Amino acid sequence: MITPPYLKKGDKIAIISTARKIVHKEIETAITILKYWGLQPIIGKTIGIEDHQFAGSDEQRTADLQRMIDDRGIKAIWCARGGYGTVRIIDQIDFTSFITHPKWIIGYSDITVLHSHIHNMGIASLHAVMPIDIGKSSREARESLKRSLFGDEITYAFLSSKKNKSGSCTGKLIGGNLSILYSLCGSPSSIHTDGKILCIEDLDEYLYHIDRMFQNLKRNGYFTNLSGLIVGGMTKMHDNAIPFGKKAKKIILDTVKEYDFPVVFNFPMGHIEDNRALILGAEVSLSVSKEKVDFSYVGNI
């Protein structure tokens, strides 16, 4: 797995939107933070334009992402927000320059499309808070983004959930938004999970659909040789008038009960204030006991 070069003060970092529309005012806090960190924010052409719900047409969003990928002076691309739309442009992007000169792709939610696609190229990326919500995120989430970008050591440790399944494992970290991973099954962007640690999170979904998505991942072999499962925020879940009968954690545990890998709930990632940065593609160590959870990167990232 290739790790893009870490940033240093003075480096340029682009802010673009590959999905939903966003105005300049909504990224002002992010710009201030980047400048405070000593970085130079470069604002893409997709900030402030719209095509219905999108940040410009497919062609405009493709061109903006392509421009930032090909610009050797840009050291990282920070996606401004999620929503929907990245999958509409992924197959139009030429990654030739990116493969030769990789740079950090940063974001979560809909940006899982990019994470998954470039993971299959053997290049690491950064699942982390985005400009749209960094002003409301926890101090730990912001600090973890900074430390990840600058190559500082990161470990996470927290109390174990009663629902956790104990065990220890190592493997490359993959994943992101559950709905996006589900939608990518069968495409060139679908990830391979053998020997890896899968992290998932989701927002605003019906419980029956959580079950549908997990059944689909299971049928696609996602859990067969998986080393570990990390579950972040399953935020604002819904139920029907006739209840599904299980909450999200129970749905997940029942789906994977036949496998012996550790399972972690309430990991600080996803559509929550404490959305810690995770380097997807990095080799990580995960230890889960009844008392605590320890997460760390293995070797040089």
* Active site positions, annotated: 109, 201, 271
Give the separation between CA 133 and CA 130, rounded to whole angstroms: 6
For 194, the token pair is 């053998």
How far, CA to CA in Å, does 291 sit from each of 164, 165, 214, 244? 10, 11, 27, 31
SS3 162: coil
Secondary structure (3-state) at 211: helix
Report whether 77 contacts 12 (CB < 8 A): no
Note whether 283 and 299 are within 8 A (CB).
yes
Question: Which tokens is 95 given?
Answer: 């990654």
Q: Angle at Cα 104 formed by Cα 138 and Cα 3, nearest 5°?
A: 110
Burial 78-100 (b: 16+ CB within 10 A, else e): bbbbbbbbbbbbbeebeeeebee
